[in-house]
Amino acid sequence: MKDGNFLKEHNARSMWHPMAHPADSLANPPTIITRAQGVRITDVDGHEVVDAVGGLWNVNLGFSCQPVKDAIAAQLDVLPYYSTFRGTSNDAVIELSEGLRDFFAPDGLVRAFYTSGGSDSVETALRLARQYHKIRGEAGRVKFLSLKKGYHGTHFGGASVNGNANFRTQYEPLLPGCHHIPAPYTYRNPFNETDPAKLAALCLSALEDEIAFQGAGTIAAMIMEPVLGAGGVIPPHESFMPGVRAICDRHGILLIADEVITAFGRTGSWTGSRHWGVQPDLMCTAKAITNGYFPFGAVMISGAVAEVFENDRSGAAAIGHGYTYSGHPVGAAAAIACLAETQRLNVPENAAARGAQLFEGLLGLQEKYSVIGDVRGGHGLMCALELVADRGTKAPIDKGVIGRVQEVAYQAGAMVRVSGPNIIMSPPLVLSAQDVQVILAALDAGLATT
Ligand SMILES: Cc1ncc(COP(=O)(O)O)c(C=O)c1O
């Protein structure tokens, strides 16, 4: 590996970073991470911090999960690749599919379709939803509904159902027939409603209204995150997702749970859908399925949807979709080990306890710093601070101020992520109580600069 000087000199010079302006990456070179252990990362200068980002919502078991590393190494030795396109399979993916079927049985999900990541999983779910209706003779059901503030990756389908202009505007025109419903976001919403239960009811009415306007017979699916993540950690009222499920059922619309960040324990439950007592028709997973060590994902499919595809005799259910790396044996081996370790450690329990501790601590910081307009969390290890210039008017914070908070927090011992006005925390689920204190103290130091 090249030395530190080389890395700093060439940082961002010959690559473009996702979700960044190329000129900004040159002017403000990214932090170069060179090592990681447990829940800590170390940069090129040897500065070590707690990673409150958890990689990117994916390193749930931390950076030293030996069983997953061993499984990857062993699989590379035996079979580093073979395709699962029609006619061939591999032993690892068959074993994984049985494991996932057991794991997702309480969610009513019985089949897996493999992908290379979250955006692929979203694309797959949207496509399978349209195909499901075509097989059943309702070819007119092609539209998609989703939530404003939702994040569903960056493929054209995913960007089209995305609820944030940052990921849409420069890439328009997007897929036609995608319509957005207000998010159950109590801090800012078009109804000026701060009560979570009342807001949930209003958003559900808006969903009903949109379905009536579009015509239920034109809509294939509603896609939503059980807790909105990248959009700023927005946990809905407990009535919301069950309400969406009931409305979808009433109108023959499939419900796609985008659980790319919530599956495998992050909310304090094994899945976000289970957290709210809902069984989706399709579930998008990725990220923590391999602890972030291998790019991999799976769309899980309900029994009812599977039956429609598997009972088709017309040929319409032939799946004209898939990726070279669908069911990659190394990814599958990683996922088998990861699933076992996730269950052995019972990570939702720690996610719930440490999440509650972090949320409490953040509420304490809000009492101390007026720049914190809103604190969101309370459902496992996903929390956010929304910073404002003025609490009364909720005027947006200056970019420089939030950047300084992040920088000082980093120097003080924790990597946090800034997304617009939000500081987002999604640490590994194996975090200790002491690690939570480190994150809170680092944020305290960062916020003291405001
Ligand atoms: C809910 C959700 N869906 C989809 C994606 C896209 O996943 P990927 O970046 O692996 O394509 C993400 C990524 O953060 C996500 O949070």
pLDDT digits (tens, 9 = 90+) for 141-200: 999 999 999 999 999 999 999 999 999 999 999 999 999 999 999 999 999 999 999 999
Take residue 311 and report the two structure tokens written for it. Answer: 């009972």
Q: Is there an atom of ligand 1 within 6 Å of 341 CB?
A: no
Q: Is there an atom of ligand 1 within 6 Å of 163 CB?
A: no
Distance 261 CA to ligand 1 centre (A): 7
> Going by C-beta distance under 8 Å and a sequence separation of 6 or more, which residues neighbour residue 413?
49, 50, 438, 439, 441, 442
Q: Is the dihedral of CA 113, 115, 119, 124 positive or negative?
A: negative
Nearest-atom index, ligand 1, CA of 118: 7
Take residue 161 and report the two structure tokens written for it. Answer: 């159902």
Distance 36 CA to ligand 1 centre (A): 22
The structural domains of the chain, ordered by start, are 31-61+346-447 (3.90.1150.10), 67-344 (3.40.640.10)
Q: In degrees rounded to 5, what are phi and psi of residue 218?
A: -105, -5
Report, as ranges of residue numbers, the positions in the chain whose pLDDT lies below 50.
none
pLDDT for the residue 280: 99
pTM of model > 0.85: yes
Per-residue pLDDT reduced to its tens digit, 240-284? 999 999 999 999 999 999 999 999 999 999 999 999 999 999 999
Nearest-atom index, ligand 1, CA of 287: 10
Q: Are 408 and 391 contacting, i.e. CB atoms less than 8 angstroms apart?
A: no
pLDDT for the residue 1: 74
Residue 174's identity, in one-letter code, is: L
Q: Is there an atom of ligand 1 within 6 Å of 402 CB?
A: no
Q: Is there an atom of ligand 1 within 6 Å of 123 CB?
A: no
Nearest-atom index, ligand 1, CA of 229: 16
Q: Look at ligand 1, atom 10, and give the residue with the nearest C-alpha.
A: 118
Q: Is there an atom of ligand 1 within 6 Å of 229 CB?
A: yes
**Do the strands 282-285 and 254-258 form a parallel or antiparallel pair, or are they unpaired?**
parallel
pLDDT for the residue 268: 98
The continuous run of DSSP H or E covering 223 comes out as: strand 219-224
Q: Is there an atom of ligand 1 within 6 Å of 119 CB?
A: yes
Query: Which of 119, 124, 164, 224 for a ligand 1 pocket mutation test, highest count of atoms within 8 Å of Cβ?
Result: 119
Q: Is there an atom of ligand 1 within 6 Å of 260 CB?
A: yes
pLDDT for the residue 181: 98
Q: Look at ligand 1, atom 13, and give the residue with the nearest C-alpha.
A: 153
Q: Is there an atom of ligand 1 within 6 Å of 263 CB?
A: no
Nearest-atom index, ligand 1, CA of 295: 10
Q: How far apart are CA 114 and CA 119, in angstroms?
A: 12
Nearest-atom index, ligand 1, CA of 121: 4
pLDDT for the residue 2: 84
Take residue 377 and report the two structure tokens written for it. Answer: 């969390």
**3-state SS track over 364-393:** HHHHHCCCEEEEECCCCCCEEEEEEEECCC
What are residue 33's DSSP bridge partners? 43
